[in-house]
């Protein structure tokens, strides 16, 4: 059954997936209760490019989302032609699949990587400014600089 892929459903699923969405050791996006579609897609495409033979259960675990969320997002990427799903014949369990990025999936991953990096750099700049402001506030209130 093919369902339309919409931002609201991904946001809803991502919200229930936990406080962090991580990919194969990538820095968790903690503190965000909702993730936009491009972040979910980016993390999933990145994981699949690194480990195409993961099961959906392993994908869900690595992304810190529910199995249903992983299934829904994988189906959406397959429906959009970004990921190809094929049987993994070497596996003992014949129900295993390889999730391979298509040429358009690779292009999408590159585009999402650029926008993800730009957002994270803006977030870093904002956090750095906030940290400096807090340090100044602590010093103004008389805390020894060794405690900062």
Average pLDDT of the chain? Answer: 75
Within 13 Å, how many C-alpha atoms sit on residue 44's CB side?
31
87 phi and psi angles, rounded to 5 deg: -65, 145
pTM metric for this prediction: 0.59
- Bridge-based pairing of strands 97-101 and 83-87 is antiparallel
Q: Where are the domains of the chain?
A: 7-143
Alpha carbon distance, N-terminus to C-terminus of the chain: 56
Does domain 7-143 fall into CATH 1.10.10.10?
yes
Round to whole Å and give the CA distance between 11 and 119. 18
* pLDDT, tens digit, 9 for 90 and up, residues 60-105: 999 888 898 888 989 999 999 999 988 766 556 656 788 888 998 9
Do 31 and 19 form a contact (C-beta atoms < 8 A)?
A: yes
């Amino acid at each position: 059954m093919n369902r339309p892929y919409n931002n609201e459903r991904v946001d809803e699923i991502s919200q229930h997936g936990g406080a962090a969405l991580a990919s194969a050791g990538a820095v968790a996006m903690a503190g965000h209760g909702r993730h936009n579609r491009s972040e979910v897609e980016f993390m999933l495409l990145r994981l699949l490019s690194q480990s195409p033979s993961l099961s959906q259960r392993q994908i869900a675990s690595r992304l810190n989302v529910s199995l249903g969320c992983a299934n829904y997002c994988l189906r959406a990427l397959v429906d959009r032609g970004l990921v190809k799903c094929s049987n993994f014949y070497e596996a003992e369990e014949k129900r295993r699949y390889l999730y391979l990025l298509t040429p358009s999936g690779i292009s999408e991953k590159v585009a999402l990587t650029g926008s993800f990096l730009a957002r994270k750099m803006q977030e870093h700049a904002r956090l750095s400014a906030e940290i400096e402001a807090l340090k100044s506030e602590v010093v103004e209130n008389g805390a020894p600089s060794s405690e900062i």
